[in-house]
Structure 1
Amino acid sequence: MKRRSGFLKGILKYGTIVAVGIFIFYVVKSSFGSEECDLTKIQYMSSEHAKSAQKYAEQVLQAECRPSFVKKQMSRLFAEKYSKETSPFLRKDINAQMDAFKYEPPFGFHKLSEKLQDVLDLLPEHDLPESFQLKHCKRCVVVGNGGVLHGLELGYALNQFDVVIRLNNAPVQGYTDHVGNKTTIRMTYPEGAPLSEQEYYPNGLFVVVLFKSVDLSWIQAMVKNESLNVPTIGVTAVVLATHLCDEVSLAGFGYDLSQPNTQLHYYDNLCMAAMNGQTMHNVTTETKFLQKLIKEGVVKDLSGGIYCDFCPKTS
């Protein structure tokens, strides 16, 4: 329980402080291995399940948007670990943001204030565009890279959200039926940044990167301490979304390690078994965290990979 509490405290209280602008950490590329799936043998979602997912997404979008809903719910569930007042953006007046310097990378900027200031001075903005800020009630969707998206044809619905957050270098071209093509924010690390010009959403893409000059020190620490776990960029994106929007949904999340022959990502032929070799993420703890958010009604799971609200209930 102690470990789980520490995880939640870290991701909820400090993960968003240093999120968008120049920093959202992404731990070194997970060595997924070379376990490839024979996609011809993978059974994708039934047409009934896909229709249910599409209908559920429509219901989420058609319901009346509730201002500040997700922040209130997060504060209710994690009163001592989540602050509604936390800004997800680093501002240029870094002296007023001392919490950002409590921890060393990738959780903070301890002893890096001068370098941080230099980088921030180069950035033109530190917030969402004014057109987003003026909207009375905003809906976010965080689009994960899971194979669970394949066949659901949620692309049209995902494009209807006000803010669409994508992860790493997951492509949209060629997969728009499944994942849409609107991108407001892409959370990534430099080596995983786009892709091609076609992957950019005009006037809307924010590339979130790690301050690379400090990579080696914390990566080397990880190598020496294989038991060190850090949150995935996906769960960090979900928490970030709770600070950006009034309502939050997710799609494409869920690692079912009990199904090693299922497709890991929607865009490649890696199998779920490839996750067995990684040690830096605690997938089980993250799943429980996301399940709690979904079951409590804080966020919606549009693809049902974490917890399926639209699936038939078994007795």
Structure 2
Amino acid sequence: MFAVTRENSPLGTVLWYDGEFYHSHTVNNDTYQLFVQESPVKAPLKRCAVVGNGGILKNSGCGREIDQANFIMRCNLPPLSKEYTEDVGSRTHLVTANPSIIENRFQNLLWSRKSFVEEMRVYGHSYVYMPAFSMKPGTDPSVRVRHTLADSGSSQTVLFANPDFLRNLGRFWKGRGIHGKRLSTGMFLGSLALGLCEEVALYGFWPFSVDLDGRPISHHYYDNVLPFSGFHAMPEEFLQLWYLHKSGAMHMHIGKCPKEPG
């Protein structure tokens, strides 16, 4: 149920936006044809890597280890140019795209479709996972991404997040002490991986401004732009993920990854 499909959301289905009260979309012929027939990601997947964008990844040397996973998830169209691949890897199977990124970086695809398609090539034959039915302003950019990639002959598949799945996850974690306005993308993907994968490894999840040795680190591995304060409860999320790590439900990598022998 993590994605909207023709199977779980037939014509006439009312999709209630999970990020806004009292807004909904009734599936019609126009939107129905944008959905995949059924969920293309089948459980159980063997070993999954969920790659956050934290500055803790910088100089980690984790790229080779990340790329060895069977299924790799990334958050919000992160840069994967050569200067970063040693730390973050180069392979991608699913990448999220927040509508605000489409608006700010690509002018809502009203003028910059070519540059968008070119930038997306770095993610290979991946699924592009978008919250089209979370906030009303995010629907049009998400649909535009779907049309843009289809019109360009891209091999990527756009999946729209199921708002019921996002809502239920939010409630689940709120009952366990996470009180931000909304879960972070990384928390959504980590939770999704727990449901899909036999083994889950997290990389780049570190919401603090210093590393384990007290050295300052940037917010992201590629810049130091801070998020809007109060929107996500990153320390609370990290604590829950750390509990899962300590219980053996997943493995969280912090700091450097071991080098290949020899």
TM-score by length of 2: 0.63
The match for 2:36 among 115, 124, 131 is 124
| Structure 1: 5+ residue stretches without partners | 1-86, 217-226, 311-315
C-alpha deviation, 1:117, in angstroms: 7.2
Instruction: Give the 3-state SS of the residue equivalent to 1:88 in structure 2.
Output: coil
C-alpha deviation, 1:252, in angstroms: 0.4
Relative distance call for 1:157 and 1:278 in structure 2 (3 A) is same
CA contact (8 A) 1:92 1:117 kept: no
2:2 counterpart letter in structure 1:
P
CA contact (8 A) 1:143 1:165 kept: yes
- In structure 1, the partner of 2:169 is none
Instruction: Give the 3-state SS of the residue equivalent to 1:246 in structure 2.
Output: strand
C-alpha deviation, 1:125, in angstroms: 4.4
CA contact (8 A) 1:146 1:264 kept: yes
Q: CA RMSD in A?
A: 3.5
Instruction: Give the 3-state SS of the residue equivalent to 2:26 in structure 1.
Output: helix
Residue pairs, 1:80-99, within 5 angstroms: 87-94=1-8
Instruction: Give the 3-state SS of the residue equivalent to 1:123 in structure 2.
Output: coil
What is the distance in 1 between the residues matched to 2:74 and 2:3? 17
C-alpha deviation, 1:302, in angstroms: 2.2
Number of aligned residue pairs: give it.
198
1:105 counterpart letter in structure 2:
D
CA contact (8 A) 1:152 1:178 kept: yes
- In structure 2, the partner of 1:185 is 94
Instruction: Give the 3-state SS of the residue equivalent to 1:139 in structure 2.
Output: strand
The match for 2:136 among 214, 229, 236 is 214
- Structure 2 residue 182 is matched with structure 1 residue 230: yes
**When you count strand as a share of all residues, which structure comes out higher?**
2
- In structure 1, the partner of 2:234 is 283
C-alpha deviation, 1:284, in angstroms: 2.3
Cα-to-partner distance string for 1:256-290 (whole Å, 9 max, x where unaligned): 1567942111112x17xx45x61111122112111
- In structure 2, the partner of 1:160 is 68
The match for 1:243 among 191, 195, 206 is 195
- Structure 2 residue 24 is matched with structure 1 residue 112: yes
- In structure 1, the partner of 2:119 is 196
Relative distance call for 1:117 and 1:300 in structure 2 (3 A) is farther
What is the distance in 2 between the residues matched to 1:90 and 1:165? 18
- Structure 2 residue 50 is matched with structure 1 residue 142: yes
The match for 1:266 among 217, 221, 224 is 221
Residue pairs, 1:43-122, within 5 angstroms: 87-94=1-8, 104-106=17-19, 112-115=24-27, 118-122=30-34
What is the distance in 1 between the residues matched to 2:94 and 2:192? 11
Relative distance call for 1:229 and 1:100 in structure 2 (3 A) is farther
C-alpha deviation, 1:92, in angstroms: 1.8
Relative distance call for 1:104 and 1:304 in structure 2 (3 A) is same
Cα-to-partner distance string for 1:193-214 (whole Å, 9 max, x where unaligned): 567144221x223242434871
Instruction: Give the 3-state SS of the residue equivalent to 1:168 in structure 2.
Output: coil
Instruction: Give the 3-state SS of the residue equivalent to 2:127 in structure 1.
Output: coil
What is the distance in 2 between the residues matched to 1:163 and 1:100? 31
TM-score by length of 1: 0.53
Relative distance call for 1:213 and 1:251 in structure 2 (3 A) is closer
CA contact (8 A) 1:88 1:244 kept: no
What is the distance in 2 between the residues matched to 1:145 and 1:304? 13
C-alpha deviation, 1:100, in angstroms: 8.5
The match for 1:297 among 238, 241, 248 is 248
What is the distance in 2 between the residues matched to 1:153 and 1:116? 47
Relative distance call for 1:117 and 1:285 in structure 2 (3 A) is farther
Bigger radius of gyration among the two: 1
C-alpha deviation, 1:111, in angstroms: 5.5
1:230 counterpart letter in structure 2:
R
